[in-house]
Amino acid sequence: MENLGTRFGEVVASVGHAVVGASSASTEQLSGVSGNFQWGGTFSALILLFLNQIGRRSSIQTTLIVLYLFTSFPTALFKIIRGQFGCWIAFLAVTANLFFPQTFPASRFLLFVITPDWVADGLRGSICSGILCLLIGVLLVITEVRGIGRHSNCQCNFHCICYCLGIALLFFFTIRYLCLETW
């Protein structure tokens, strides 16, 4: 019995050291380029998400923008969403989705909460996040051009100008991150 207690103490101590090491590694300061990419990319993606929800409501574009947000969301906010707060929000979103499935699509928010840590940290901590965000930006442009082709009455209005500005900002922050982070 004493051997089991000693073994349990060793396991707890090793887990404690692992947690302390992970927390000290995660509190490193972001480089200016990475911080600009995270905050600027998130701001432009949120603008695009808002415009998509009040405009055509394209589910493909919404999914692409949420994937962009997943890879470029600021680290401080990402940790809050992945913590206990995010679990409660996900629970409430799934519950609301059960009763009002058309009003509360919860599946996209769950990506932030249930993605394994090794996938989220590996993707967000490497240059692959910038490459994925660039690919997502290209796919957003392609889906927007296809959507414009379906409308016989193409007009350049405020919504169109804001959407183009949001995509331009998305590309600006992504390309800036890729260029300055790799050299």
Compute the distance between CA of residue 180 and CA of residue 183 in angstroms, rounded to an integer.
6
pLDDT per residue, tens digit, the chain (183 aa), is: 445 444 434 533 443 343 334 333 433 445 677 888 888 888 998 998 888 888 777 788 888 888 898 888 888 888 888 888 888 888 888 888 888 877 777 677 777 788 888 888 888 888 888 899 899 999 988 888 777 666 555 567 777 788 889 899 999 998 988 888 766
Same domain membership, residue 102 and residue 142: yes
Same domain membership, residue 37 and residue 10: no
SS (H, E, C) the chain: CHHHHHHHHHHHHHHHHHHHHHHHHHCCCCCHHHHHHHHHHHHHHHHHHHHHHHCCCCHHHHHHHHHHHHHHCCHHHHHHHHCHHHHHHHHHHHHHHHHCCCCCCCHHHHHHHHCCHHHHHHHHCCCHHHHHHHHHHHHHHHHHHHHHHHCCCCCCCHHHHHHHHHHHHHHHHHHHHHHHHHC
Closest CA to 89 of 101, 98, 80: 80
Same domain membership, residue 48 and residue 15: no
Same domain membership, residue 70 and residue 16: no
Distance of CA 32 to the CA centre of its chain: 19
pLDDT of residue 30: 55
Same domain membership, residue 138 and residue 64: yes
Query: In Å, what is the CA distance from 81 to each residue of 3, 128, 180?
Result: 40, 22, 28
pLDDT of residue 138: 92
Same domain membership, residue 79 and residue 18: no
Q: Please state the φ and ψ torsions of residue 69, each to the nearest 5 degrees.
A: -60, -40
Domain count, the chain: 2
Same domain membership, residue 74 and residue 20: no
Residue 101's domain comprises 31-182
Same domain membership, residue 38 and residue 12: no
Same domain membership, residue 78 and residue 4: no
First vs last C-alpha separation in the chain: 57
Same domain membership, residue 12 and residue 76: no
Compute the distance between CA of residue 104 and CA of residue 152 in angstroms, rounded to an integer.
31
Same domain membership, residue 151 and residue 85: yes
Same domain membership, residue 115 and residue 71: yes
